[in-house]
Structures are given as C-alpha cells and as structure tokens.
A and B are shown apart, each in its own frame.
Chain A
Amino acid sequence: MTCLEHRRGRASRALVIIVAFGLSAVLAGCAAPVQRQTPELRREAGRIPRIVVMPLDVELSQLTAGGLEEPHAEWTDAALKHMRTALDDEAKVRKVTLVDFQSERGSPEDRETSLDLVKLHRAVGSAVMLHQYMGFTLPSKDGKFDWSLGPAVAAIARSHDADYALFLFVRDSYATAGRVAVIVVGALLGAGIPGGAQVGFASVVDLKTGDIVWFNRLLRPQGDLRTPDAAAETVKALVADSFQ
C-alpha cells in the first residue's frame, strides 16, 4: 500500500482525534453497539455475582467558541455522582452486588497489578472502540470479539473477592453559548460544525479469565450527563443487559 504511507503520523493521529471527538455522525454506528461473548453472568450455587466497579473514567468538558475542549470539574463530579447512584439502582433491580474498587486492598503485588490493569483497560477499551466501532477493523479477527485483560485479573478477584469487574469510560463535551452561536451561524452558511461529541463505553470483565464478556458503546444522543436523569439514562443504556 503506497497511497497513505507518506502521510505523516500526526495526520493519522489527528484523524483519530477528530473521529473520537469531533464527528458525532461517525459514532452513529458502523457496528452493533453491544458485543458479548457470554450472555449471562455466572450464578453458581446461588451466589450473587459480585461486580467490582472500577474507578469511573469520566471527563466532561466544555467546548468553547474556539472549538477547544476545556475540562470542567464540576460537571464531571456531578456526572460521576449521578452515574454511581444509577449503577446502584440498576444493581438492585438486576440482583448483583456492586463493590467499589479500592486501591488499598490486597497484597502489594495485587495492588500494583490492579493499578496496571486499570491502565491496560484504557488501552484495550480504546482498541475496541477504534477497531470494532470506528471502522479501523482488524481483518484478522474475522468478526470475533476476543478482547481480554488476561489472567492477571486474578489480582482483582482476590483482593475484592469478586467475579466480574465493570469499567465505564465517558468523554463528553458540551457547547458553550458561544459555540452554539458558531454552530447556528455555520448551519445558516451551510457548513456542518461539530457540536461536541460523546464517546463512551462500558465493559464487563470476567475475573476468572480476564475476557471482556460484555462491551457496550454509548450512542448519541443520550442527553446531558450533567443532569441526574440523563446520567441515569446513560448508565441504564450502558449496562442495559449486562447484569443478567
């Protein structure tokens, strides 16, 4: 392939960034939003599945008139709070136990491994998004969904006495008034101007194997994550049928 080999790496990275943050239309779906390997959580001998809620990786930002994203702490804090509450509600309905991940639990090696797994999941989640949903398909996979964190997840299983781990990742930006004005004017002039994008996914990892047994991508529009209702709806949509 010679056509793109001379393109600068910066361009391909910029492409990824644009895809991730700018073009909500792209997120509108090139693949089914929910992927699963196994349809149900294990409920062996009547044991209620214990799910570790990993640190919610959520960041809400403000999209300024200049088109830049300014991280917004208050919105993020609010969204985190609402989402956590919504998760608890879902857990009650679906009969699972949620346990907060605590970095101080477990032996020193387990603690360190757990931390490394959180970092790994960012990379794996990004890969799933990129290669399953954003069109950069990996032909070798043959449509299989075989993403995993590997057997090292036993560290989390041990330290939290848990069966599964839930990861949530959300990046969302909201247009300021100035930005909305730019969008409106742009629309009048016939130019499509991105209004802010939502990127999000949830994954459930089987702590016996490390395999991602359930992965769901957030589809727009889910509403304003700064409000309790929309945050709850988002969580519902994300975990929809994961806790069976």
Chain B
Amino acid sequence: MSLTRRQFGRQFGCAFCGLAAALLAGSLAAQAPASGRTFLVPGYRPAPASDEKGLWSLMDRVEQELKLSRFVVRDPTLNAYVRDIMCRLAKDHCPDVRTYIVRTAQFNASMAPNGMMEVWTGLLLRCGDEAQLAAILGHEMGHYLRSHTVERWRDARNKSDFGTFLGLGLAVAGLGAFGSLAQLALVASSYGFSRDQEREADEIGLELMSKAGYPPVAAAEVWEQLIDEYKAGTAERARQLLFATHPEPEERMGALREAAAKAGGDAGERGHERYLEKLAGVRAQLVGDELALRQYGRSELVFERLLVRWPDDGQLWFAKGEVYRLRGEDGDAARALASYARALETKNAPPETLRGTMLIELKSGARDRAQAAFEAYLKAKPDAADADALRMLLSQ
C-alpha cells in the first residue's frame, strides 16, 4: 500500500483538460442554485483546498482500503461484465468510474463522489436480468452526476447534523472501536437522500438506461421487488430501515412506473441469458450467502421470483429446497423434497441437492432412501469434503 495517500485517483489523459474541467465545474457551481442542478463534467476534480476536495480525498483512502478487502469479489468475468454495463450507461464519464463488487448478502449499491461504485452481491443475486442491474447502476450514476452526496454532506455539516449522516452508517456498518471512520462515510452516502434527490436520480437513471438500450420499466420492477421482499420479512426493524432511508417507497414506485412508461416502457434489451451466464462463476456462493442468513420468508420470496424468470434452473430449485430444509417447520420436509426433486429434473442441479435429500430422508427415518441419496451424491461429487460426516450420520 503506497504511503502517499494524496492520490487523485487516476491519470489525467490531458492535464489541461482536467484543470479546465475543474475550473468549468467550479464556475458552473458558482452559478448553480443550492439545489445542485449542475451536471458533473467528465474528468471533474474538486478545487484544491475546497471542502469537497476533503471528502474526495477521504473516499480515495476508503477506496485504497477497499481494494485490499477480503470481501471484494475478484471474479474477472463478473467484474468485466459489471464494468461494461457501467460504462455503457456512463458514456463520457466511463473513465471516471470504478466498480467494486462486495460480498455482502444484502441489496445495496452506492457511488462515492470520487467515482468509486460499490455493488453488493445480495443485489446481484436479486436482479432478474441485466436490465434490472442497469437500472440500479443508472440510478446511482444519477446521484453521482448531480453530486447529491456532496450536497447532503455539506447540508449535514451546516446543520451540525453530521450525526444523521454518519448515524445510519454506524447502524449498518457496526465497526469496532479501532476501525476506520472513513468507511462510515461511504456507507452513509448511500442512504438518506431527500425525495427530490431520489426522484432526480430516478429520472436520470431512466434516461441513461433508455439511451443505453435497456427497457426503463426494469427500474420500477426492481423497486417493486424490493418492497415485496421487505414486506415478506416479519421484522419491524427491516421495514423501518428501508422506509427510513427511502421516503415513501410505494409512492415512488408508482411515479417510477409512470416515468418509465414515458421513457420507453419495456422496449429494449433485457440481457436475460447473458446475465445468468456472467454470474455463473459466483451464483452458488451468492445462494449460499443468502441461505446462511436464515431469513426464510425473504429467501423463499427471492428464489421463487427468480424461478419465474428461470423456471428450469436447478440451482434455484435446490436453493428453495434448502430454505425449507433449514427452516424445518411443519410440512417443510415435504416441501424440501419436492423442490429437490424438481431440481433433479433440470440439467444443472448441484450435487448438494442429493445431500439435502439424504438429510431430509434420514430425518424422516427413511434409511434406505437416505442411503441411496448419499450414494448418488458421492457419484455426482466424488471429492465431497463432507462425505465422512454424512457417512457418520448413516452409521448412527
């Protein structure tokens, strides 16, 4: 890790261009009203010694740390894919943006003022196709292009209200006493935008999407799915978190649907098959991460919804089976077996489907069927690391 943290992020293709852009941005900012109606110029840099420069440098340091994080997904195919979509949306701003995929089983994407974009794997799991992913990336670009985070940050400082800015970050990040305060700013930057700011980001996102050839209606779909999912969770706090950070989601969804219809509706490329293909390397991990949270209602909804789009996906049927097996309530054993059986009818059932089957059969006392499933599991996965463990269960 370099000691010179004073990094401006990337090479200037043209030093004069960078300077000119900064000056231009500066003068535009001077003209603009406080609502932040300026559109960020490609290659923009904040003026040195400005407060924005401070925030920028902070984000640069966060990015340096992020690069070294264990939680960053480094799958080259997936990274190239996400970067590609980002670039098509960002157009002239493409060189200013860097994408990072972070392994967290929650739905989130955020973009820092210095062009660093973070996409969480929980979001990648939930997107039904490329267009939906593009919708989210476009929305974040909207916040970035209108400097909403800088706006909010300035606002918070003026009102001595930095606590609100960081408070949400604290709630979500939960860092230890000796952690990095800088990281909080990044997490916080994805929450708490005003209704106007969210609407602006939505509008810009829709425009970027349709220009890049995606159906704008995908944006409304994403939001609808998100609302459904939070409703499926019974925890009151979950609902509050969403609604605290996104004012009046249902109203927003309605507005989004209208705007999407005006912007081109469902005309455009979905990227349905391509999305699945590009995620192939990480999908099993994403499914496992979601299951590990043991939020059965939410997970069931997510997998069912994905199955509507990909009805013959063995991995999704397996995932659904696992939800039931792990939940273990009345009737779940039968539900799990049904899902596993359905998975086995497809072309891509993971071998673990047989493991799940074995465990369920064993629990119901059907030893012979459990034995058969175990043998089939070993056949499908001869190097199964848990073979001994399962054999132990059968012998008891």
Contacts and interface: CB of A to CB of B under 8 A. Distances in A.
Co-complex (A, B): yes
A178 B160 contact: yes
A150 to B, nearest CB: 19
A65 B160 contact: yes
Interface stretch (A74-82, A208-216, A236-244): A74-82
A171 B161 CA distance: 22
Interface string B96-121: 00000000000000000000000000
Contacts of A101: 1
A121 B203 CA distance: 47
A59 B181 contact: yes
B178 A72 contact: no
A71 B162 CA distance: 11
Interface residues of A, number: 36
A122 B175 CA distance: 13
B166 A13 contact: no
Contact of B58 (A13, A73, A169, A171): A73
Interface in B45-74: 49, 53-58, 60-61, 68
Most buried by B among A56, A64, A65, A101: A64
Interface in A63-97: 64-66, 68-74, 76-77, 80, 84
A61 interface: yes
Given A55-B3, A66-B160, A80-B3, A74 B57 contact: yes
Contacts of B308: none
Contact of A70 (B60, B162, B180): B162
Interface of B: 1, 3, 5-6, 49, 53-58, 60-61, 68, 157, 160-163, 166, 176-178, 180-182, 185
The 7 closest A-B pairs by CB, nearest first: A73-B57, A55-B1, A126-B178, A73-B58, A71-B181, A16-B177, A20-B177
16 contacts: A64-B162, A69-B181, A70-B157, A70-B166, A71-B58, A73-B54, A74-B53, A74-B57, A77-B5, A77-B6, A77-B57, A80-B3, A80-B5, A84-B3, A126-B176, A171-B178
